[in-house]
Structure 1
Amino acid sequence: MRATHAASLPTYDRTGVRRGLVHLGLGAFHRAHQALYTDALVANGDLRWGILGVSLRDARVSETLTAQDNLYSVTERHGDEAHTRVVGVLKGALFARNDLAKVIAAIADPLVSIVTSTVTEKGYNQDPASADLDVGDADVRHDIENPDVPRTTLGVLAAGIRHRPASAPLTLVCCDNMAGNGDTLRKLLVQYTSLFDTGLARRIEAEIGCPNSMVDRIVPAATPNSLQWAAARLGLRDEAAIVCEPFTQWVLEDRFAGTRPAWEDAGALLTSDVRPFQAMKLRLLNGTHSALAYAGQLCGLETVADAMANPLVGAFARRLMLEDLCATVSPPPGYDVTSYCHDLLKRFENPTLQHRTQQIAMDGTQKIPVRWLPALRESLALGIERPVLERALAGWLHYVAIGRDDNGTPLVINDPGAEALASLLRQAGSDFNAASAALSHRPVFGTQTWPPDFVERLAGHLSTLRHSGMTGLLSPN
């Protein structure tokens, strides 16, 4: 890739970089986040940490990168300010279904000491209600019966570990938005392997490192407009170009089973307890993002910046974060959480990112149980109402059930778990029955009962939505 002077190029000899990391989930987020931290270390002379990227569900990313010699550009952009770099740390890009033996062999390679993952919450086959392995999932059942030809993230990891020398330490770093993501990955992997190989399960529990982590950067999916803008800046066409915000954060527990990259030298924070950072990010950033996505979709607003600029939706997001969600987090000692919130809101307002509400709205049945429900349950148990969060929940249920925005335009709902919930809502017959039926839907809301007065309030919001839409719900009384 020969780029114009607008881009910083790799300063190291790529042929001398050794493969030391495998990454599962080769989407834009990893390539604009963990890969950049690692690229910085390689640029500083530590050539042990080349990355083999693996796509699990879609061949297009790996095919695109392979055609470009595994090079791609990342542009950090806010307003008129932009900085572009070409990233050279990828040693390969594979599609697991076509190259499964190579993927398993890479995880088994003793020279690989870290496997990272960004496969989204649903990529771990966790039942959102029980938080345990979803043993009824068809792909999980397939992998239990055919562990050498797996389809799932857990299956691929287990197959690689199974073929790996016992003397070679390995750490799995989950970078997805789940509370206690490392602990969760270990639990699910042990539950999965215990169903067909108890010795492997014991080995994973005792020997494999699984530190918790928190990642933060807004990385929209590429669009024709973003690719065209990047091409004009680079002076060539980069089909894997990424345009993202300047802000980036990575917090990791320093719990590794063996050798690890010195990511702290590239700006990551190594800590003994990542949980306060996780809770803040999941609730304040991701929780507000989800609310913006559903409100934006229902109000016909295409991007997060559009939603923030809308008087009703922008005010709704600010109140949700600053009044309801902020009150439910316990920040690390000395951390200014109010300042963090205001910084987040400014990031959401960045008009150059074009972060689509439709993209963020995906897989709500997996995200809502993590981003909203813990804060809501904790508050209700203390007798505290969260009026803005309750409206956000009603808005999501309305979005799932109605499937069109306030102007009647059909919405694209990309969530395999949504139809079962939508069916309950449509068949309820009354707003109270709809609220009761939704809250009884175990895959999302679990088995614990909800307070009757909360059910009544939720039913009232659903009634407002049915008669006046999202704009009616958010309009001042």
Structure 2
Amino acid sequence: MRGLPPSVATPAYDRSRLVPGIVHLGLGAFHRAHQALYTETLIAHGDMRWGILGVSLRDAGVPRMLAAQDHLYSVTERHGEQARTRVAGALRGALHAPSELQAVLAAIAHPAVSIVTMTVTEKGYSQNPASAELDIDDPAIRHDLSAPNQPQSTLGVIAAGIRLRPASAPLTLVCCDNMASNGDTLRKLLVQYASQVDVPLANRIASDVAMPNSMVDRIVPAATPTSLDWAARRLGVRDEAAVVCEPFTQWVIEDRFAGVRPAWEDAGALLTSDVRPYQAMKLRLLNGTHSAIAYAGQLRGLDSVSDAMADPLVGGFARRLMLEDLRATVAAPAGYDVLAYCHDLLARFENPTLGHRTRQIAMDGTQKVPVRWLPALRESLAQGIERPLLERALAAWLHYLRSGVSDSGTALVIGDAGAPALADRLRQAANDTDAAKAALAHASVFGSDAWPSAFVERLASHLSKLRQGGMTLLLAG
């Protein structure tokens, strides 16, 4: 990228000296604005071992787009009128797994690569959200079990790469997706998968491959024509891979690596012995509130998170949900000010320059709700505690699926492969009580354990209000 304004920071190092030491699966905007920038800082300080080879597991457009720009792209951190832009050079290549599979497997197998990171979303791990075990009915997993050397799933690709890797080359897998104990979860699922195709490989993975838990945090909206146009005006050139995100960023990682690792702590990451309190806090307070904003916002016809936060009804609901219901369910790390963290989150949600779409956040609810809301609900109900705001959020999601339209009658676009089966249950029910029972009996989302009858009755009452008067009636009380 030549001819950029002086205010735009560009790589000052020789990119030809970069050695690919990291393979990243899931080459979306989040990775490019998060893990890649932590690594970029280390490279800029002179550690050339950590060039990144990005892998797109589905979309061929992202690798093609990045290749046309020599794998350079810009990241602008923006809040209101304040903005700071830098060009990242850490990405040394980008592969499309379906069409370049052998190159992807060879990269994972290469001894110079000691880290594989991933951001493939919750659904990318082929986990049954109710049982938390490997979903052997996942079409990609079914394919990989019959053709393990031509894998399509995330787990299959990782396992096939490790199978080709020298046993003497240490490897660490760093899951950066929003799952509780994500490293432990990845280990369990990967071993379960490998056990089906290659028992010695499963044993090797279980004993030799490190998978630390981690927690990532940065709001990175998907690129839009508007955001790309804005970035082009700021840069003076067109960057089809431009990312516009918030200034805040956080990465907490357990210091459990099999071999050499980047000194990410020198770039601002927190290395710790236990990431679980940070994970739970972020998963419930940020992600849990985000999901509630998304479904309430979609039902109210509000396109962005900042629009929803500015809406008296939805904004007030989101604030109370976080501060009253969800905050009560988290155990903070020692010395951590959870209330201040909540207020920081709310201020981030109000950032009007991000344009973070409620429709985007609402995607894949059948994967997200079981980890963002249901554990807090289960724990509270087991203690005899009601969470009235969280229960209303759950009802709003179910109504979103059942009605398929906003409160004003506009058709909603629901991007969730697991939604039709649950929506059919809701729509076939004779009344709201039956709808609540039918939904909670949908084991792939809600599990097989019974829910308290009083909770079922409250949920039915919320569904009735939504059916009669939408979000206005639900949140009136």
- 2:47 is the counterpart of 1:46: yes
Match of 1:34 in 2: 35
Q: Give the aligned partner of residue 383 of structure 1.
A: 384
Using the alignment, how far apart are the partners of 2:63 and 2:362 within structure 1?
Answer: 25
* Aligned position for 1:449: 450
Deviation at 1:258, TM superposition (A): 0.4
Residue 79 of structure 2 corresponds to: 78
User: Which residue in 2 is equivalent to 1:97?
Assistant: 98
- Aligned counterparts of 2:6 and 2:241: Cα–Cα separation in 1: 19
TM-score (norm 2): 0.99
The 3-state SS of whatever aligns with 1:243 is strand
For 1:429 and 1:422, how far apart are their aligned partners in 2? 14
**C-alpha distance in 2, partners of 1:6/1:423?**
54
Deviations 1:7-56 (A, max 9, x none): 10001100011100000000000000000000000000000000000000
Task: Tell me which residue corresponds to 1:21.
Answer: 22
Alignment of 1:217-366 (within 5 A): 217-366=218-367
Does 122-131 or 465-474 show the bigger shift?
465-474
TM-score, normalization by structure 1: 0.99
| Aligned equivalents of 1:180, 1:332: Cα separation in 2 | 15
Q: 2:368 corresponds to which residue?
A: 367
- Quick one: distance in 1 between partners of 2:444 and 2:159? 26
For structure 1, the residue ranges without an aligned partner over 5 or more in a row are none
Q: Give the Cα–Cα distance (whole angstroms) in 2 for the partners of residues 136 and 350 of structure 1.
A: 41
1:195 is aligned to 2:186? no
Which whole-Å CA distance do the structure 2 matches of 1:6 and 1:230 have between them? 13
Q: Which runs of 5+ in 2 are unaligned?
A: none
Look up the match of 2:5: 4
Q: Residue 210 of structure 1 aligns to which amino acid in structure 2?
A: M
SS in 1 for 2:409: coil
Q: Corresponding residue for 1:400?
A: 401
The 2-side partners of 1:348 and 1:121 are apart by 22
Deviations 1:56-105 (A, max 9, x none): 01111111001110000000000010000000000101110111000000
In structure 2, the residue matched to 1:411 is 412
2:448 is paired with a residue whose SS is: coil
Rounded Cα–Cα distance in structure 2 between residues aligned with 1:6 and 1:462: 52
Q: Once the 2 structures are TM-superposed, how far is the Cα of residue 138 of structure 1 from its aligned partner?
A: 1.6
Verify the 8 A CA contact 1:6 1:234 in the aligned structure 2: no
> Which deviations, in whole Å up to 9, do the C-alpha atoms of 1:125-167 show, x marking residues without a partner?
0000000000111210110111111000000000100000000
Is the CA contact (8 Å cut-off) linking 1:76 and 1:83 kept in structure 2? yes
Q: Match for 2:461: what amino acid?
A: G
Number of corresponding residues: 476
2:448 is equivalent to residue 424 of structure 1: no
Letter in 2 for 1:140: I
Give, in angstroms, the shift of residue 439 of structure 1: 0.3
Give the Å deviation of 1:231: 0.1
Query: Shift in Å at residue 6 of structure 1?
Result: 3.1
SS in 2 for 1:195: helix
Give the secondary structure class of the aligned counterpart of 2:6: coil
What is the distance in 1 between the residues matched to 2:58 and 2:330? 35
Alpha-carbon distance, 1:470 to partner: 1.3
State the AA in 1 paired with 2:27.
L
For residue 4 of structure 1, report the CA deviation from its aligned partner: 2.0
Moved over 3 A (4+): none
Q: How far, CA to CA, are the matches of 2:472 and 2:106 in structure 1? A: 54
Structure 2 distance, partners of 1:169, 1:39, is: 23
- Report the Cα distance in structure 2 between the residues aligned to 1:311 and 1:99, rounded to whole angstroms: 50
Deviation (angstroms), 1:337: 0.2
State the one-letter code of the partner of 1:149.
Q
Question: What's 2:210 paired with?
Answer: 209
Letter aligned with residue 219 of structure 1: V
* Aligned-pair CA distance for 1:194: 0.3
Could you list the per-position Cα deviations for residues 295-348 of structure 1 after superposition, in whole angstroms to 9, with x for gaps in the alignment?
Answer: 000000000000000000000000000000000000011100000000000000
CA distance in 2, matches of 1:410, 1:136: 31
Distance 1:97 1:196 in 2: 20
Specify the SS of the correspondent of 2:140: helix
CA separation in 2, counterparts of 1:167 and 1:144? 26
| Alignment partners' CA distance in 1, 2:240 and 2:6 | 19
Partner SS, residue 258 of structure 1 = coil
Aligned partner of 2:412: which letter? L
Q: Secondary structure at the match of 2:21?
A: strand
3-state SS of paired residue (1:127): coil
1:256, distance to aligned residue in structure 2 (A): 0.3
Give the SS at the match of 1:437: helix
CA positional deviation for 1:466? 0.2
Q: Which amino acid aligns with 2:452?
A: P
Deviations 1:172-198 (A, max 9, x none): 000000000000001000000100100
For the pair 1:119 / 2:120, whether they are aligned, the reply is: yes
Whole-angstrom CA distance in 2 between matches of 1:50 and 1:294: 39
1:421-470 deviation per Cα after TM superposition (whole angstroms, max 9, x unaligned): 00000000100000000000001000010000000000000000000011
Q: Which amino acid aligns with 2:283?
A: L
- Residue 353 of structure 1 aligns with an amino acid whose one-letter code is L
> What amino acid maps onto 1:327 in structure 2?
A
Q: Secondary structure at the match of 2:197?
A: coil
Equivalent position of 1:159 in the other structure: 160
Contact 1:28–1:221 (8 Å) recurs in 2:
yes
- What is the alpha-carbon distance in structure 1 between the residues aligned to residue 10 and residue 217 of structure 2? 24
